[in-house]
Structure 1
């Protein structure tokens, strides 16, 4: 099967499974890449924690701030399913910037992330992305705003209604009903831009090696491994990644480092057209498509 036929079949599978998606797989040694709609803009959800962490680490290495500086963090007090760490704390805490980075990337803690955004604000992260030729990644707001959706105010048995609102927004010519899902107002990115970011973290040319190394370590230790990790994590492959989930958005970016030397970056940005919070079949389909693209990239000849 040639590559174009493969892409057509994968696109059809996604549509049949109620998934609109943008995918890339890139061999970081050769630059060879296969993509499905890589320039489509998506609300980025928790994927923004990676560029935020990078920007903050760059500032620490440049001496602008100190990683040991302690920060007072208010309790998150969130009750909806999903968030972890400080986001569920009931009392204030004092935590060093270095440890906020750990919490933000490794366990996707939104309260830790918002504390970091007060130190390294969204406009600084966006500026750095542009400086690194990664202008497809834009930060506009805190992560706390992501939790302020109808889902947080509904009873568990009613939360499917929030997903209906999200899906209705996808199909409205006037734009999404929810600001968190509006590419004109949300934190956003493209599969191409996030793949370029992974490329820079694993093959740094414009960022500090120390910052890249720390991010690789944090992403390798990411505890949220339910989406693409089942397809990539084996005894012969190290999968380092970051997920992003919000209502009907299901994203993941990561790098598969194979024992035979292949290093493949994979990005999956998706939105579901099915009004349900738990969709194991969708998760499986997203992982399948990502794996198929990854496998095809491994077969391509070097330039």
Structure 2
């Protein structure tokens, strides 16, 4: 595993990012640690915690996933996808809002669900699952609001200035929604092992995570028709994350969490996106090779 960790750090360096990674063989418990316990800002990865909380409360009979919710445009969180980008009132079920929250990372849908379950419930769920270093401190609209406030009067243009980036609270794990790579793979493993809820609800969560539309990060490391990747991304200025599960046709299941930062302020950095898949592939290949050697 030492060689694989070195290769992962080299890949991060070549891509111009600093990175933290944890990979876990869901069935054997074998793992690979490349900064797995360092606190990281989760950004939209924290929507996974909202999803698990939603299904936990549904399983307890505290809400009905088919409940219809009216979503007016006023007060919606901003964003380029889903309800956050729509102009008119929409009406849909909680489970369809969950689909938008995960598949296209819809901030507005996420905040509708977060208001329905409550921030305290999200933290209670992560605590119940033993995620001691995972904490939600604000909604997604509030998180984006801190970026706007910290950027100052120049708005989004100021985010091209590295000095402005250093003062963003949303990038400081001490002041925003946070976790660690190890906590995130533990959460994913609980969903894939039916430990995060009932088998029915865990299957529903796996389905939604498998519908995420972004192929340029974790999935880019596994370009095979018979390998399935399910996950959740997270993005903020200079920050690119993804956590997910890679499933092989031989039954191998691997939870991987990759969190990266770069000094470059450009919104489009293909190498920084792609290295998430590269690092994940190195980690999963190492876990699979070790499993073969131990047979």
Q: Contact between 2:52 and 2:196, CA under 8 Å: does it hold in 1?
A: no
Cα distance between partner residues in 1 of 2:117 and 2:275: 36
Q: Which stretches of structure 1, 4 residues or more, deviate above 6 A after TM superposition?
A: 76-80
RMSD: 2.3
Map of 1:23-42 to 2, 5 A cutoff?
A: 23-42=21-40
Flag the 1:294–1:53 CA change in 2: closer, same or farther, 3 A.
same
Paired residue for 2:68?
A: 70
Q: Deviations over 1:275-295 (max 9, x none)?
A: 211101112223212211111
Map of 1:44-63 to 2, 5 A cutoff?
A: 44-63=42-61
Cα distance between partner residues in 2 of 1:153 and 1:283: 29
Flag the 1:162–1:61 CA change in 2: closer, same or farther, 3 A.
farther
Cα distance between partner residues in 2 of 1:113 and 1:104: 5
Flag the 1:48–1:228 CA change in 2: closer, same or farther, 3 A.
same
Cα distance between partner residues in 2 of 1:260 and 1:159: 49
Q: CA deviation at 1:12?
A: 3.5
Paired residue for 1:118?
A: 115
Map of 1:80-91 to 2, 5 A cutoff?
A: 83-91=80-88
**Ranges in structure 1 where 5+ consecutive residues have no aligned partner:** 170-176
Paired residue for 1:251?
A: 241
Pick from 186, 190, 211 the counterpart of residue 176 of structure 2. 186
Paired residue for 1:127?
A: 124
SS of 2:201's equivalent in the other structure is helix
Cα distance between partner residues in 2 of 1:87 and 1:282: 25
Q: CA deviation at 1:162?
A: 5.4
Cα distance between partner residues in 1 of 2:154 and 2:250: 49
Cα distance between partner residues in 1 of 2:102 and 2:201: 13
Cα distance between partner residues in 1 of 2:257 and 2:173: 18
Flag the 1:228–1:295 CA change in 2: closer, same or farther, 3 A.
same
Aligned residues: 290
Q: TM-score, normalised by structure 1?
A: 0.88
Q: Contact between 1:22 and 1:268, CA under 8 Å: does it hold in 2?
A: yes
Paired residue for 2:104?
A: 107
**Ranges in structure 2 where 5+ consecutive residues have no aligned partner:** none
Pick from 136, 139, 144 the counterpart of residue 136 of structure 2. 139
Pick from 215, 224, 231 the counterpart of residue 241 of structure 1. 231
Q: Contact between 2:196 and 2:202, CA under 8 Å: does it hold in 1?
A: no
